[in-house]
Amino acid sequence: MGTPLLDVSNLTVAVGEGASAPRVLTDISFTLEPRGILGVIGGSGAGKSVLAKAIINWLESPLRVVTGKVMFEGRDILTMSDRETRLLRGKAIGYVGGNPSGALDPTMTVGAQIVEKLQAVEPGTSYRKAQERVVALLDAVRIPSSDQRFNEYPFQYSGGMMQRAMIVDALVSNPRLIVADSITQPLDVTVGAQILKLLRELRDEFDTSILFVSNSLPTVADVSDRVIVLDRGIAVEQQPTADLITSPRSAETRQLIDELPTLWAHDDRSRLKPASEDARPIMSVRDVSRNYALASRGLLNFGPKRILQAVRHVDFDIYEGENFGIVGESGCGKSTLTRLLTALEPPDTGQITFEGKDIFGRGKEGTRAFRRRMQLVLQDPYNSLPPRNSIGTIIGEPLVIHGLASRKERRSRVLEVMAEVGLPASLYEELPMVLTAGQRQRVNVGRALILEPRLMLMDETLSALGQTEQGQLLDLLEKLQAQHGVTYLYISHDIAMVRRVCARVAVMYLGEVVELAENETLFFNPGHPYSRALLSAAPTLESRRYRSEDCLLDGEPPSPIDLPSGCAFASRCPQAFDRCLIENPRLQSRGGLNRAACHLLDSENTVPKEVSA
């Protein structure tokens, strides 16, 4: 090993002036060798982003370095002049942040801005040369048709594409170090997995060192050679990645590892109940589709109408008393399906029945009665509660809307429900602002529960909560299910949560249910390549049953406008063959309640394992 590329010693950062100012980072020391990837892991408030910014001397007031040095190639970054820092940042150190969508000027093309950067840090580069280099790098990060993409605007890029473009922006000046701060956080897991793979390849190809900051231990472990664990500004542990996972030295690291959900190993936190085949369906979705027509791009709006196919031929049953899950990544049609299932809008074709009756069949009154029996619990604990209404009013409001209780009854009913969801009665008159995220979700559950619904639709309800709060809320939901016999429909992008809770899972991709399977089947013997890809990309430390290298080709989902004629997943599927490009597979039974839509099953199904029900 030669001299380290980056040598941080005794770095302490405080908020504000004075000796008693609170410390955000305390006495951090580490080195990063050329070609090394160092991971920095920590929860929110651990100081990991501050560390990333300190390394490029980007601390803004009131943040302030108290002591310490950040030596980059033998020079202290913290004592450089503004001009030196600026050139160093752009040229020798590249920075990629966690918010790719807002990282470039929306009014200029992506290519022009990367060229602009290159010309700023390497004056004298001709536009032509710069453009050639940018296009070559866009190719290197596998942005398709890079020539054309060069001339597109940031808003025409998807999140994953934009993150690739930002990596190109960091790479374009041949930096020795790239600081990657939470770069996979806003991305879908399958796209995030591709970015990680790309990062490793780039290190090998361009000899760049990487400081990789993330709040997800599996993600950090995936790319890094060494890992620093930050906890409240203190580096509690620093080890090579493999050692850190197998023999963590600090309690904080052990907790991080313990909190991680497991997909395949037995998990004590599992709340799985077996699916029952003989139960009665409470809700049936029959061949439901929903399209949205967009304005044509032709002259005078003539030319083909563009149709966005948000939900395509979705068909499943939800049985009474079960936990049913719908998983999928952004753009898979979850939100549209939620709107259909809650009767916010009718499907174009197909039928949705609840307790045997069509939810749109009986006019406005019928829909209202349906909504009483079926309640939606929303995702965002912060924006889903009216900030100026008291908690009691919020929980009691559904009673007013449905005209169910007098003023007096309402109060006692609300207090009853508050006790049931674990909110102290003293909160009745308080405003939502005093609540924690977990308590807010309890309010949301409470205001759904007060109508005594038969089915509760949980739209990413647990996504915004930490592991501990998530576990507590799941306990509560389980208790309510035992007492009231409620059925839960979970809609989520989090496959680990679904693993712990849902007896049966529908996997959606581009508007279709590509697989409908019992929990164990989905995780141990998935029938659709996309399910495997999703499992291969899920953040976990377990030895994976599926490697993302084998399960997922580069590229992103096609646009839901102008869908390809064959299987929608074919463009990313390593097992796709001729037929997949021509013919869209329909869901077919794999025995029991399990169904999947893949042509590969035809060969598998020639010898049925079980007589299908």
Partner 1 sequence: MHVGGGFIVFIVNFLIRRLAQGVIIVFLVSFLIFTLLRVIPGDPVRLMAGGMAPDHVIDQIAEDMGLRDPIPVQFVRYMGGVLQGDLGQSFIRPASGAAVGGASFDDNTRSERAEVFDLIADTAPFTLQLALLAMAFALIVALPVGIYGGLRPGKWPDRLALYMGSLFISLPNFWLGIVLALVLSVNLGWLPAIGYQGFAYTILPAIVLAVEIAPFLIRSLTVSVAQNMRENYISVAAIRGIGHRRIVMAHALKNASVPLLNLLGVQFSMLLGGVLVVEFIFDYPGLGLLTINAVLQRDFPLIQGIAIVTSAAFVVINIIVDLVATTIDPRLEY
Q: Which residues bind partner 1 (CB under 8 A)?
A: 56, 58, 86-87, 89-91, 95, 97, 99, 102-108, 116-117, 120-121, 148, 151-153, 155-156, 169, 173, 297-301
Helices (H), 388-511: 391-401, 407-420, 437-449, 467-484, 495-501
Outline where DSSP puts E strands in 369-418.
374-377
Contact 393, 453 (CB under 8 A): no
Q: Which is nearer to partner 1, 155 or 524 (CB)?
A: 155
Contact 190, 160 (CB under 8 A): no
Minimum CB separation from partner 1 for residue 97, in Å?
6
What are the C-alpha distances in Å from 532 to residues 57, 139, 204, 384, 412? 42, 27, 27, 34, 49
Outline where DSSP puts E strands in 215-296.
226-231, 234-240, 281-294
Minimum CB separation from partner 1 for residue 292, in Å?
15
Q: Which helix (H) or strand (E) holds 29?
A: strand 23-32
DSSP 8-class letter at 290 = E
Minimum CB separation from partner 1 for residue 421, in Å?
38
- Give me the phi and psi of 119, to 5 degrees please: -70, -30
Q: Which is nearer to partner 1, 53 or 572 (CB)?
A: 53
Q: Which is nearer to partner 1, 120 or 404 (CB)?
A: 120
Residue type, 119: Q
Q: Which is nearer to partner 1, 58 or 206 (CB)?
A: 58
Contact 417, 484 (CB under 8 A): no
Rounded Cα gap, residues 513 and 327, in angstroms = 9
What are the residues facing 281 on neighbouring strands?
Answer: 319
Minimum CB separation from partner 1 for residue 154, in Å?
9
Q: Which is nearer to partner 1, 57 or 289 (CB)?
A: 57
Q: Which is nearer to partner 1, 109 or 291 (CB)?
A: 109
Minimum CB separation from partner 1 for residue 332, in Å?
23
What are the C-alpha distances in Å from 157 to residues 102, 151, 334, 547? 12, 11, 21, 27
CA dihedral 154→157→159→160, nearest 10 degrees, is -130
Residue in the structure block whose two tokens are 């030295």: 249
Rounded Cα gap, residues 607 and 613, in angstroms = 16
Q: Which helix (H) or strand (E) holds 91?
A: helix 82-91
Q: Which is nearer to partner 1, 21 or 103 (CB)?
A: 103
Rounded Cα gap, residues 61 and 63, in angstroms = 5
Rounded Cα gap, residues 205 and 34, in angstroms = 13
Q: Which is nearer to partner 1, 104 or 502 (CB)?
A: 104
Q: Which is nearer to partner 1, 148 or 412 (CB)?
A: 148
Contact 139, 131 (CB under 8 A): no
Rounded Cα gap, residues 87 and 155, in angstroms = 28
Minimum CB separation from partner 1 for residue 460, in Å?
25
Minimum CB separation from partner 1 for residue 63, in Å?
14
Minimum CB separation from partner 1 for residue 281, in Å?
42
Minimum CB separation from partner 1 for residue 216, in Å?
22
Minimum CB separation from partner 1 for residue 441, in Å?
29
Using omega within 30 degrees of 0 as the cis cutoff, is the peptide bond preceding 304 cis? no
Q: Which is nearer to partner 1, 149 or 410 (CB)?
A: 149
Q: Which is nearer to partner 1, 60 or 365 (CB)?
A: 60
Minimum CB separation from partner 1 for residue 165, in Å?
12
Minimum CB separation from partner 1 for residue 120, in Å?
5
Minimum CB separation from partner 1 for residue 6, in Å?
16
Minimum CB separation from partner 1 for residue 329, in Å?
24
Q: Which is nearer to partner 1, 21 or 121 (CB)?
A: 121
Ramachandran area for residue 119 (φ above 0: left; ψ -120 to 50: alpha; else beta): alpha
Give the list of residues 6+ apart from residue 143 with CB closer than 8 angstroms, or none.
149, 161, 164, 165, 168
Contact 300, 577 (CB under 8 A): no
Q: Which is nearer to partner 1, 182 or 444 (CB)?
A: 182
Tokens of 542: 């377990």
Ramachandran area for residue 271 (φ above 0: left; ψ -120 to 50: alpha; else beta): alpha
Q: Which is nearer to partner 1, 91 or 590 (CB)?
A: 91
Q: Which helix (H) or strand (E) holds 159?
A: helix 159-171
Contact 189, 329 (CB under 8 A): yes
